[in-house]
């Protein structure tokens, strides 16, 4: 389906249940986390959009000019477009809460929607990279964020991951961080932390 601006997969839950949006990494698509999302929150409406930017054929949610160097104008465009998409679907499905999970580039668009617009009650950011100091947002107080990361991630350096966690903590967000000893790969302790966080 391509309504509300993105090609996406959707499994409708009952009205009044949560809506759970899952966002793929660079080169993934709407199938990457769709089944995982449905397993985590079987009662929820599951939505998985496909990034609308192509980088040498790899789907992404916003443009970049190099590894870790974002096209800030396109990030702003993509963030507003995604916020509108999330709001429209949450309203349509009468969602009781809005939950998000993203990996890599998907974590980055999720994080930036959260930073700019709030919207998400709970967000799982797997290997995010926000290479700038986000603006303060008092509306983030009391929301729940789980960051998962690799201590030796060459794409998302650990100090920047920690800085993002510190930013959310400074906004009075309930913030957890789950590390593993590896790089940009997803490991079992992350999956376990995500399961606890989403179902908790």
Residues taking part in catalysis: 104, 153, 184
CB within 8 Å of 23: residues ≥ 6 apart: 33, 48, 49, 61, 100, 101, 102, 103, 105, 106, 107, 109, 110
Q: What's 121's DSSP letter?
A: S
Please tell me the total number of residues recorded for the chain in this structure.
200
Strands (E), the chain: 8-11, 19-23, 45-49, 53-55, 58-60, 64-66, 69-70, 98-103, 122-126, 144-150, 174-180
């Amino acid at each position: 389906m391509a309504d509300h601006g993105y090609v996406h997969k959707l499994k409708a839950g009952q009205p009044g249940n949560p809506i759970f949006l899952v966002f793929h990494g660079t080169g993934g698509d709407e199938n990457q986390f769709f089944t995982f999302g449905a397993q985590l929150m079987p009662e929820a409406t599951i939505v998985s959009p496909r990034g609308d930017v192509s980088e040498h054929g790899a789907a992404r949610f916003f443009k970049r000019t190099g590894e870790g160097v974002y096209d800030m104008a396109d990030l702003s465009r993509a963030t507003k477009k995604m916020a509108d998409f999330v709001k429209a679907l949450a309203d349509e499905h009468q969602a009781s809460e809005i939950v998000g999970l993203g990996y890599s580039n998907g974590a980055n668009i999720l994080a930036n929607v959260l930073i700019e617009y709030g919207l998400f009650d709970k967000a799982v950011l797997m290997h995010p990279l926000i290479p700038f100091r986000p603006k303060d947002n008092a509306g983030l107080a009391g929301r729940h964020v789980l960051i998962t990361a690799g201590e030796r991630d060459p794409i998302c350096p650990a100090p920047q991951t920690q800085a993002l966690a510190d930013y959310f903590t400074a906004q009075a967000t309930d913030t957890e961080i789950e590390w593993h000893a590896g790089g940009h790969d997803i490991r079992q302790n992350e999956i376990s932390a995500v399961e606890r966080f989403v179902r908790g």
